[in-house]
Structure 1
Amino acid sequence: MNLRFEHMVYIFLIFLGGCNTCPETYQPTGTELSSDCNISNDTLRILCTQDQLDLTVKLTDEFQKCHGKIITEISLYERMTPKEIMSQGRNDLVLVSDAYAPNIPDDFWRTKYARDGVIGIINKSNPFCKKITESGLGKQQLASLLTGVRSDGLKQVQGYDQYRPIKVFICSDEFLPCKLWTDFIGITLNDLNGVRTVSFQDLIDSIRTEPLSMGFCCQRYAYDPLTRMEIEEIKVIPIDCNANGTLEDKEKFYDNLDMLRRAMWLGTYPCHSFLNYYIIASEQPTNRLHIDFIKWVLTEGQKELHAEGYIMLNTRIINTEIYKLNELLASL
């Protein structure tokens, strides 16, 4: 017999100096539930940042399909750090990226649940696009373009005779991906010379309208999650890892999202450009529902992360974390 239920999600806004708990409206969803699912009336409490909200809702939506009529409270925090929130007595799970790592105390419990990669992109109409995708760009060449040291842009980098200045777009609101990319190519954030955008989507839209432009973003923005191919008008810049001026077979993995993510998963793509995502808690979780959710994210939830364009964890990391969680459950 199938049971119908509603998944209820309350979204709260938390600000420094007070907690405004007027819930935003989230439309409940009805889902068919098989009779062998575990019915629970417990509450799953999760904190996340605005950039993680859509993913958090997606994960909890899928998780609840086999966990009965649970209530999920998803709270947004903007100015308060996880430590400040938890010091108020909250024992929620917190979904964060590396960007918040400096605000997470060393003694907090944590587990990695996904990764993302930072990549360079150009407009497909760029006259140098074919040459770039065939030979790639080395770190020094990327640094020259992003800093504007070579005012003639791709002319000197690719050996073209015709003068072609290039316009660089930079997402100023995404600090950590910018930091990862600049560290990788050997420059500082202050060295970046380009037009600032407010989001990666804004950056993508800007590059689409400027044939002679480039920038960098997280890989899930440059590929269509359904077709797994590069989005319209955007081409990913291959990295010439050994800077020999030739893109070798082992460096060719940009044709589709799955090839690129496999290269990132195997470590073929430079690991310095990775962004990690964590589930953290102020102490070792003791709520069984919380532990079940973490285990689900590390197993079945990896399929959802894959569909959303994130990089799944490798089997070794997953098995290690699941073993720890099973031991934790056995001790309760």
Structure 2
Amino acid sequence: MKSFISILTIYFLTAITSSAQNAEKKVVITGVRFSYPLVEKWIEAYKVVNPDVNVVIETRTTTDPAKYDLLIEAFDQDANIKESREFLYIGRYALLPVANAQSAFASEFGEKGLTNELIKQIYFNDIYADKKKQKEIKSQFTIYTRLQKAGAPITFAKYFGYEQTNIKGKAIAGADEHLVKALLKDSTGISYNVPGLLFDLKTRQPLAGLKIIPVDADGNGKVSDDERFYGTLDTVLDKIESGQIKNIPVEFLHLSIAKNSTNEEALKFLQWVASNGQETLEGFGFLKLDPKRLQAEKAKFDVAVN
């Protein structure tokens, strides 16, 4: 009997130890949902070289973000949050105006495009705007925007000098992908969104039913032929990466970890992404970091580990 009890004790101790070891090999990520396909690709590649590590994505809920090992987010955080977390800026994303392809708005602006002044007039509530200088817009339209605080609406509004709360239209619950679904159902719908949700990632063509609206990309007050570069996703990314494009908001995508984190595997995953994550960005509609910034990000986490 004593021998059997001893065997059971050893078994349970081994099971407990094994469970603890497995727990240490798990990394839980949450954050902005339009990044999930990209993160899933990173996880898939990471699993090949680290088969014993379980990296998973959990859809963000009301749970305290601090309960997750890593956050992937799409807007600049408040100073108090920056004090408690280390950030890896890994890529960038752009925001493009878009309309239902069958809408009168798409017919009116699909070719002539939008200037800075028109974007502000159409998308934002501005009590200080000079109504006498506003352009006549013949088509009826319905703007769809995010209800919750989120990276895309914050970035879109900030670029043009506003707050998320200044965006006009119907604020809907859910993620950025739900804005696309709303557009496809409403023949008057217009919105803004990231290229990765507006283009088919396989064909690299705009999604059927959507019309991406060109903008005055050089800031000269009109939209010329060379500013209508929305035929393929790769053309859009190349144009934005090639120089100082105006009227297309661009913001960083970043991963972060708590400074007091004890999950070594989470830090290792961050390091791996810093070294290997750039090659998959454009495939999912994101923009690469410039080489100098990338080296600085890599060095930051080398120091953190060593």
Q: Indicate yes or no: 2:136 matched with 1:156.
A: yes
**How does 1:28-47 map onto structure 2 within 5 Å?**
43-47=25-29
Candidates 82, 97, 116, aligned match of 2:74 = 97
Candidates 45, 65, 73, aligned match of 2:48 = 65
Q: Indicate yes or no: 2:153 matched with 1:171.
A: no
Q: Indicate yes or no: 2:174 matched with 1:194.
A: no
Shift of 1:112: 0.5
Shift of 1:222: 0.8
**CA–CA distance in 2 between the matches of 1:220 and 1:73?**
21
Q: 1:204 to 1:292 in 2, by over 3 A?
A: same
2:179 counterpart letter in structure 1: L
For residues 256-277 of structure 1, the C-alpha deviation after alignment (integer angstroms, 9 at most, x for no partner) is 2112222333443348722322
Higher Cα Rg, which structure:
2
Q: 1:216 to 1:95 in 2, by over 3 A?
A: closer
Question: Per residue, is there more strand in 1 or in 2?
Answer: 1
Q: Indicate yes or no: 2:99 matched with 1:119.
A: no
Aligned counterpart, 1:231: 207
Q: Are the counterparts in 2 of residues 265 and 313 from structure 1 also a CA contact under 8 Å?
A: no
**CA–CA distance in 2 between the matches of 1:155 and 1:233?**
27
Work out the percentage of aligned pairs sharing the same amino acid: 16
- TM-score, with length taken from structure 2: 0.73
**CA–CA distance in 2 between the matches of 1:296 and 1:135?**
44
Candidates 284, 294, 301, aligned match of 1:308 = 284
For residues 134-159 of structure 1, the C-alpha deviation after alignment (integer angstroms, 9 at most, x for no partner) is 332112112222248999xx9824xx
Aligned length: 277
Q: Are the counterparts in 1 of residues 90 and 277 from structure 2 also a CA contact under 8 Å?
A: no
**CA–CA distance in 1 between the matches of 2:63 and 2:80?**
10
1:66 counterpart letter in structure 2: V
**CA–CA distance in 2 between the matches of 1:164 and 1:247?**
22
Backbone CA RMSD of aligned residues:
3.6
SS of the residue corresponding to residue 136 of structure 2 reads helix
Q: Are the counterparts in 2 of residues 93 and 290 from structure 1 also a CA contact under 8 Å?
A: yes
SS of the residue corresponding to residue 220 of structure 1 reads helix
Gaps of 5+ in 2: 1-21
Aligned counterpart, 1:263: 239
Shift of 1:324: 4.2
Q: 1:269 to 1:103 in 2, by over 3 A?
A: farther
Q: Are the counterparts in 2 of residues 143 and 187 from structure 1 also a CA contact under 8 Å?
A: no
Gaps of 5+ in 1: 1-39, 158-162
Q: 1:235 to 1:102 in 2, by over 3 A?
A: farther
- TM-score, with length taken from structure 1: 0.68
**CA–CA distance in 2 between the matches of 1:114 and 1:50?**
14
Aligned counterpart, 1:295: 271
Q: 1:297 to 1:60 in 2, by over 3 A?
A: same
Q: Indicate yes or no: 2:160 matched with 1:185.
A: yes
Q: Which has the higher contact order (CA 8 A, sep 6+)?
A: 2
Shift of 1:53: 5.1
For residues 21-63 of structure 1, the C-alpha deviation after alignment (integer angstroms, 9 at most, x for no partner) is xxxxxxxxxxxxxxxxxxx997142332372555444422221
Q: 1:137 to 1:78 in 2, by over 3 A?
A: same
1:110 counterpart letter in structure 2: F
**CA–CA distance in 2 between the matches of 1:123 and 1:315?**
37
Aligned counterpart, 1:322: 298
Of 309-318 and 141-150, deviating more is 141-150
SS of the residue corresponding to residue 281 of structure 1 reads strand
Aligned counterpart, 2:13: none
2:28 counterpart letter in structure 1: I
Q: Indicate yes or no: 2:113 matched with 1:136.
A: yes
